Amino acid sequence: MAAGAPASRVIVTRPVRDAQQWVQHLQQAGWSAEALPLIEIAPALAAPDVQALQQAWQSLDRYAACMFVSGNAVDYFFKQKMAAAPDIRAQAAINNVANSTYPEIPPGLRFLAPGPGTAAALRLAGVPAGQIDEPPADAPQFDSPALWQTVGQRDWQGRRVLVVRGQSADALASAGRDWLTRQWQDAGASVDQLSVYERRAPVFSAAQVQRMAQASADGSVWLFSSSEALAHLLDLPALAGIGWQQARALATHPRIAASVRSAGWGVVVESRPALKDILNTLRSIESKTS
């Protein structure tokens, strides 16, 4: 390692595609980073889900707003309108060269994103930037309350809202979306839920499990952006005897940080989910433990 380079290794636990992107960003910033996805994303293949997705596209003009919980929600929603391709977002970008938007997108429909990653996915999918609402770039968090700060003062009485989300067995993972649904309902809106993908625990290889055990005490910094990822880690029978007192973690939300602390991590710090803030927080961890 070059002189002055960070000594800690960062373990990115996001789903595989997002994890790879974060690893690339961290490595470009001089950090040693690796992807260890603790959440797997898969399409919702049940017939009712597919039928509901088709119906949603046919009735978009009935909604005042369509809220996407993540970039994955954008991908699987717009996949119905794209040519099959390994990377949906890349295909969307190609399509946009020829077509500025999808003819099926009603011009008055607002597309809502809880953070910049989801907003970027919407733009790549062909949604006009002028139809996208998201929290300001300097928001303390990128989550449902931050989005509500942006759109909550609008007149929602009698309006219909579509929330495009993933299925998950983890209650904490759904807490923010459920909170936002209640805000809309209290404001007089009716809210429809559409599941377009499934979040689940991956099947881990023996080498991955060994790496997890090693990272409990080797100074690595676990980057958690979901309490669901943590739950999948802790549920592994092979790690039942592992103590996390020497482990270090960076969490991108106070609720996630609380979950990691409750799991016994020795060092837990919080950071905004923006890359600049995460890099600054990692440097702070390094300076305190070097």
Task: Report pLDDT digits (tens) over 178-223.
Answer: 899 999 999 999 999 998 998 999 999 999 999 999 999 999 999 9
Mean pLDDT in the chain? 86
pLDDT above 70 covers what percent of the chain? 84
d(C-alpha 38, C-alpha 215), whole Å: 14
Q: What is the pLDDT of residues 250-276, one digit of tens each?
A: 999 999 999 999 999 999 999 999 999
d(C-alpha 157, C-alpha 245), whole Å: 50
CATH class entry, domain 9-39+202-289: alpha beta
Q: What is the pLDDT of residue 6?
A: 59
Mean pLDDT of all residues in 222-227: 94
Q: What is the pLDDT of residues 54-70, one digit of tens each?
A: 889 989 999 999 999 99
Indicate the pLDDT class of residue 167, thresholds 50, 70 and 90: confident
> Which ranges of the chain does DSSP label H, i.e. alpha helix?
16-28, 47-58, 71-78, 88-98, 116-124, 144-151, 171-186, 206-214, 227-234, 254-262, 275-289
Q: What is the pLDDT of residue 1?
A: 39
Least confident of 3-12, 17-26, 227-236, 272-281: 3-12
Q: What is the pLDDT of residue 46?
A: 64
Q: What is the pLDDT of residue 51?
A: 81
Q: What is the pLDDT of residues 87-135, one digit of tens each?
A: 444 444 434 433 444 557 899 999 999 999 999 999 999 999 999 999 9
d(C-alpha 226, C-alpha 283), whole Å: 22
Q: What is the pLDDT of residue 92?
A: 46
Q: What is the pLDDT of residue 178?
A: 86
Percentage helix, strand, coil for the chain under 3-state DSSP, each rounded to 5: 45, 20, 35
Radius of gyration in angstroms for the set of CA atoms belonging to the chain, rounded to a whole number: 20
Q: What is the pLDDT of residue 83?
A: 35
- CATH 3.40.50.10090 in the chain: give the residue spans: 9-39+202-289, 42-200
Residue predicted with more confidence, 290 or 286: 286
Least confident of 13-17, 137-141, 151-155, 207-211: 137-141
Per CATH, the number for 42-200 is: 3.40.50.10090
Q: What is the pLDDT of residue 53?
A: 87
Indicate the pLDDT class of residue 47, thresholds 50, 70 and 90: low
Nearest to 177 by CA among 89, 257, 67, 255: 67
- On the CB side of 122, how many CA atoms lie within 13 Å of its CA? 26
Indicate the pLDDT class of residue 290, thresholds 50, 70 and 90: low
**pTM, full prediction:** 0.81
Q: What is the pLDDT of residue 201?
A: 93
